[in-house]
Chain A
Amino acid sequence: MHPVPSVFEGASNTIAVLVLLTEFAMLRAALLRAQLRLYAAQSLLLSALAIVVAASRHVPELYVLAGLSFVLKVVIVPWVVTRLLRDTSTEIAGSGALGVASEVLVALVAAAFGFFAIGALNIHSRVLPKTALSLAFAVVLVAFVLIIVRSDLISQAVGFFSLENGVSLASLVVASGLPLILEVAFLFDLLVAVVIFGVLARVTHGRSGSMSTTMLNALRG
Chain B
Amino acid sequence: MTVSPALAQALQVLTVAGGSPLVSGVIGRVEARLQGRRGTRVLQPYYDLAKLFRKESLAPESASWVFLATPFIAFVAYLSVPLLIPVLTNFPLPLGYMGDILGGGLILALGGFFTSTAAAETGSPYAQIGASRVKTFGALAEPTLLLVFVAVATITSTDLPYALAGTIHHSTAQIVRPGHLLAAAALLCVILFETGRIPIEGHHGTNEFGFIDEGKPFEHSGPYYALLQWGSHIKQMVLYVIFLDVFLVPWGLAGTRSLGDVLLAIPVILGKCAGLGVVVAVIDDNWAKLRLYKITEFLAASFLLAVLSTFTLVLGGG
B154 within 8 A of A: yes
Verify A10–B304 contact, CB threshold 8 A.
no
CA–CA, A7 and B178, complex, Å: 12
Q: Which of A28, A118, A131 contacts B318 (CB 8 A)?
A: A131
B43 within 8 A of A: no
Q: List 17 A-B contacts (CB under 8 A).
A: A4-B171, A4-B174, A9-B318, A17-B178, A17-B182, A20-B308, A28-B297, A100-B297, A104-B301, A104-B303, A108-B307, A111-B308, A112-B307, A130-B317, A132-B318, A134-B315, A134-B316
Verify B315–A2 contact, CB threshold 8 A.
no
A105 within 8 A of B: yes
Verify A2–B178 contact, CB threshold 8 A.
no
Q: Which residues of A contact B155 (CB under 8 A)?
A: 1-2
Given contact pairs A3-B317, A9-B318, A28-B297, a sample of 5 additional A-B residue pairs in the complex whose CB atoms are under 8 Å apart: A4-B173, A28-B301, A104-B300, A119-B316, A134-B311
- The total of Cβ contacts below 8 Å across the A-B interface reads 86
Verify B177–A5 contact, CB threshold 8 A.
yes
CA–CA, A105 and B304, complex, Å: 8
Chain A, residues 15-42, CB within 8 Å of chain B (1/0): the string is 0110011001000100000000000000
Q: Which residues of B contact A17 (CB under 8 A)?
A: 178, 181-182, 308, 312
Q: Which residues of A contact B171 (CB under 8 A)?
A: 4
Verify A14–B176 contact, CB threshold 8 A.
yes
B198 within 8 A of A: no
Chain B, 260-318, CB within 8 A of any chain A CB:
296-297, 300-301, 303-305, 307-308, 311-313, 315-318
Chain A, residues 112-131, CB within 8 Å of chain B (1/0): the string is 10011011000000000111
Q: Which residues of A contact B297 (CB under 8 A)?
A: 28, 100-101, 104
CA–CA, A162 and B157, complex, Å: 36
Chain A, 75-110, CB within 8 A of any chain B CB:
100-101, 104-105, 108
Q: Which residues of A contact B181 (CB under 8 A)?
A: 14, 17
Q: Which residues of A contact B300 (CB under 8 A)?
A: 100-101, 104-105
Question: CB-nearest residue of chain A relative to B298?
Answer: A101
Q: Which 10 A-B pairs have the closest CB atoms?
A: A131-B316, A131-B318, A101-B300, A17-B178, A13-B318, A115-B315, A104-B300, A101-B296, A119-B315, A4-B173
**Secondary structure dominating the interface of A:** helix
Question: CB-nearest residue of chain B relative to A134?
Answer: B316
Q: Which residues of A contact B44 (CB under 8 A)?
A: none
Q: Which residues of A contact B15 (CB under 8 A)?
A: none
**Smallest Cβ distance from A154 to chain B, in angstroms?**
21
B117 within 8 A of A: no
Question: CB-nearest residue of chain A relative to B173?
Answer: A4
CA–CA, A21 and B304, complex, Å: 9
**Smallest Cβ distance from B193 to chain A, in angstroms?**
15
Verify B312–A131 contact, CB threshold 8 A.
yes
**Smallest Cβ distance from A28 to chain B, in angstroms?**
7
B221 within 8 A of A: no
Verify A4–B315 contact, CB threshold 8 A.
no
Q: Which of B182, B308, B317 contacts A2 (CB 8 A)?
A: B317
Q: Which residues of A contact B132 (CB under 8 A)?
A: none
Given contacts A4-B171, A100-B297, contact A129 B304 (CB under 8 A): no
Given contacts A1-B156, A10-B177, A101-B297, contact A115 B318 (CB under 8 A): no
Question: CB-nearest residue of chain B relative to A133?
Answer: B316
A170 within 8 A of B: no
Verify B315–A5 contact, CB threshold 8 A.
no
Q: Which residues of B contact A112 (CB under 8 A)?
A: 307, 311
Q: Which residues of B contact A116 (CB under 8 A)?
A: 315
A135 within 8 A of B: yes
CA–CA, A123 and B317, complex, Å: 12
Question: CB-nearest residue of chain A relative to B296?
Answer: A101
Verify B301–A129 contact, CB threshold 8 A.
no
Given contacts A17-B308, A130-B316, contact A10 B296 (CB under 8 A): no
**Smallest Cβ distance from A26 to chain B, in angstroms?**
13
Verify A135–B316 contact, CB threshold 8 A.
yes
Q: Which residues of B contact A132 (CB under 8 A)?
A: 318
